[in-house]
Amino acid sequence: MRTLPRSFYTRNTLIVAKELLGKILVRKIGKSQLAGIIVETEAYLHNDPASHSYRGITERTKVMFGNGGHLYVYFTYGMHHCANIVTQKEGRGEAVLLRAVEPIDGIDVMMKNRSGRNEINNDRHLSDTGHLKNLTNGPAKLAQSFGLSRNESGTDLLENKIYLTEGIAVPKSQIISTTRIGINVATEKKWRFYIKGNVCVSKP
DNA sequence: TCCACGATCGGCT
DNA sequence: GCCGATCGTGGAG
A93 CB-to-strand B distance under 7 Å: no
- Within residues 165-184 of protein chain A, the ones with CB less than 7 A from nucleic strand B are 180-184
| Eight-state DSSP code of residue A61 | G
Residue type, A199: V
Per-residue b or e along A110-137, where b marks 16 or more CB atoms closer than 10 Å to that residue's CB: bbbbbbeeeeeebeebeeeeeebbbbbb
A79 CB-to-strand C distance under 7 Å: yes
Instruction: Name the pTM for this structure.
Output: 0.93
Start-end of H helices in A10-88:
13-19
Which nucleotide shows the minimum CA-to-C1' distance to residue A153? C8
Closest residue, by C-alpha, to the C1' of C6: A78
- Within residues 3-22 of protein chain A, the ones with CB less than 7 A from nucleic strand B are none
* Residue A165 pLDDT level (bands cut at 50, 70, 90): very high
Q: What is the pLDDT of residues A82-139, one digit of tens each?
A: 999 999 999 999 999 999 999 999 999 999 999 753 334 444 444 444 446 789 999 9
What mean pLDDT comes out for the span A71-89? 97
Closest residue, by C-alpha, to the C1' of C10: A58
Could you give the domains of chain A? Answer: 6-195 (3.10.300.10)
pLDDT at residue A21 is higher than 90: yes
The CA–C1' separation of A183 and B6, in angstroms, is: 9
Q: CA A189 → CA A10, A64, A100, A112, A177, distances in Å?
A: 22, 20, 19, 36, 10
Evaluated on CA atoms A155, A160, A161, A162, the torsion sign reads positive
